[in-house]
Structure 1
Amino acid sequence: MGTGVAAALLAALFAVLFFSPALEVKNLQVQGNSLLTVEEAEAALAPLLGTPLTLISDADAEELLGGRPEVEKVKVAAVPPSDLLVTITERVPVAVLQNGREFLLIDEDGRQLKAVGERAAVALPLIDGGADAVNSEVFSTVTAVLAALPQNVLSQLDHASAETLDSVELKLANGQTVFWGSSEANAAKAKALEALLLVPATDPPVQVFDVSTPNRPVTR
């Protein structure tokens, strides 16, 4: 009898903890987002308000945000008594495409993450060809190169292009050109370019950085 009573009390305790109105979500805390605004995230997650914290899983939040192209994954954590912390991991934009009067931020896979009205609003390279550029046979090669670059280098680029799979070129905002070549050894090429960009300016200034052979980069 004692065991039965203890089990019943334990079950009652769990019921109180899991379903108590005191643990219902009243506030949402959103972090990790930059492309998706807090207001957009909160609007999508609003159905979770009033749900006991103990009943909310990552999958619940991911289902509500799953239609957002910016969102890659979502984690939730309870902040008792009534807050839910939602940590968003966003997809990383690597370039922009012009589509009429707006500019589309795209990730390595060509997924459209967000549209902005001004080119200057985004420190990312423009891939020529408009929204149809994603259908080009060289598109994935160009985006693979851009995805390999650290953010401090990516933000210095103005354009990215390729006539063939072996002729990727990057144009810096200051007018300098980077000849990249193919998308092989991208990580090594990225390190070589980053190092070259740290070298003090020369007179006359460098016009071209050639990192197509990363262990023997050339400037001219």
Structure 2
Amino acid sequence: MTGTQAAARRTGPAGAPPPARGGRPRIRITPPSRRTSLIVLVLLTVLGGGTTWAVYGSGWFRATKVTVRGERVLTEAQIEQAAAVPLGGPLASVDTGAVRERLLTALPRLARVDVARSWPHTVTVTVTERVPSAVLQNGRKFTEVDRDGVRFATVDRAPAGVPLVRLTPDASGAAASLRVFGTSRLLQSAIAVSRDLPDALHGRATAIRVRSFDGISVELTGGRDVMWGSAEQGAFKASVLTALMKAEPHATHYDVSAPSAPAASGS
């Protein structure tokens, strides 16, 4: 093979670059011209501006409706009024965080609020209401308290199936308990007891009586009662009480104040 033939084989026909190793031809990518890049940039700008106008300037995505979900005691009208969602403007401009804060501030009964935009025209408000775990009596009114001790509503009637907390300190323990723990702490203990009651007793506890820090008892329907003691070891006491009531279903008095040595009496 002559030198001329070897050079031609290396360069390929008509001076083209030699094929890549393995026999595949090399692909040369030509960068777009400045004019092409400018055209693409203009098109993207036009499309972006059109999208912005459609969302904010046109009537296609206006906020025209509020949908409320999850309400139980509160009405849809109460929630809509407290939410004060601005209607008529762009849906994208609705401040969902501000709506949520307005609801939580205006309606203490709400434990959780989620606000979302539902395209093309709706603001969806999903609420979770607090559930009363105990009731405190204030004159002729009743204050509902949830399992976390939050007092969230004052009502004219105590809700059915929710125990009423009665602070009735006895003569021997009144002064010491009130001096050391205070009324607020004793009420918190009663609410903790209500929270820890076995599920089987929910709706059957009519009152929680607090005589002292470690003298808390629970009154049940059917003339039965439970001596609970202090609010400590609540989960343990609940499991012991459940087993005790199964073993002694006809007893009228149960004592789990010392959960390692429970007792039942009466029939």
What's 2:14 paired with? none
Query: Alignment partner for residue 186 of structure 1, among 207, 223, 234?
Result: 234
Report the Cα distance in structure 2 between the residues aligned to 1:178 and 1:8, rounded to whole angstroms: 75
Task: Name the structure 2 match of 1:90.
Answer: 129
* Secondary structure of the corresponding residue to residue 123 of structure 2: strand
C-alpha distance 39-184 of structure 1, shift in aligned 2 (>3 A): same
SS at match of 1:61: helix
Query: What is the identity, as a one-letter code, of the residue corresponding to 1:209?
Result: Y
Cα RMSD for the two superposed structures: 2.9
1:146 equivalenced with 2:186 (yes/no):
no
Indicate if the aligned counterparts of 2:226 and 2:255 stay in contact, CA closer than 8 A.
yes
In structure 2, what is the Cα distance between the partners aligned to 1:147 and 1:98?
18
Query: 1:5 maps to what in 2?
Result: 43
Q: What are the Cα deviations for residues 76-131 of structure 1, in whole angstroms up to 9, with x where unaligned?
A: 22333322221112233211122232322123455432233233x4321111259x
Structure-to-structure mapping, 1:65-144, within 5 angstroms:
65=103, 66-108=105-147, 110-119=149-158, 121-129=159-167, 135-144=183-192
Instruction: Label 1:53 to 1:138 Cα distance change in 2 as closer, same or farther (>3 A).
Output: same
SS in 2 for 1:161: strand
Return the index of the structure with the highest Cα Rg.
Answer: 2
SS of corresponding position for 1:23: coil
Structure 1: 5+ residue runs without aligned partners? none
Using the size of structure 2 for normalisation, the TM-score is 0.67
Cα deviation digits, residues 45-80 of structure 1 (max 9, x gap) = 233333433333542222221222112221022333
Residue in 1 that maps onto 2:78: 40
Q: Tell me the TM-score normalized by structure 1.
A: 0.80
**Aligned residue identity for 1:219:** A
Equivalent residue letter for 1:208: H
| Distance verdict in 2 for CA 1:117–1:11, change over 3 Å | same
1:214 shift after superposition: 4.2
Q: Could you say which structure has the greater relative contact order, defined with CA pairs below 8 angstroms and 6 or more residues apart? A: 1
Go from structure 1 to structure 2 and tell me whether the alpha carbon gap of 1:94 and 1:10 turns closer, same or farther (over 3 Å shift): same
- Distance in 1 of aligned mates of 2:93 and 2:77: 24
**1:194 deviation in Å?**
4.4
Shift of 1:195: 5.1
Contact 1:76–1:84 under 8 Å retained in 2: yes
Say if 2:67 is the partner of 1:26. no
Task: Tell me how far 1:19 sits from its aligned partner.
Answer: 5.2
C-alpha contact (below 8 Å) 1:58/1:74 kept by paired residues: no
CA distance in structure 2 between the partners assigned to 1:191 and 1:25 by the alignment: 52
Once residues 214 and 30 of structure 1 are traced to their aligned partners in structure 2, the CA distance between those partners, rounded to angstroms, is 46
User: What is the alpha-carbon distance in structure 2 between the residues aligned to residue 54 and residue 152 of structure 1?
Assistant: 48
Does structure 1 conserve the Cα–Cα contact (< 8 Å) formed by 2:66 and 2:123? yes
Shift of 1:193: 3.5
CA contact (8 A) 2:229 2:257 kept: yes
Aligned length: 213
Unaligned runs of at least 5 residues, structure 2: 1-37, 169-181
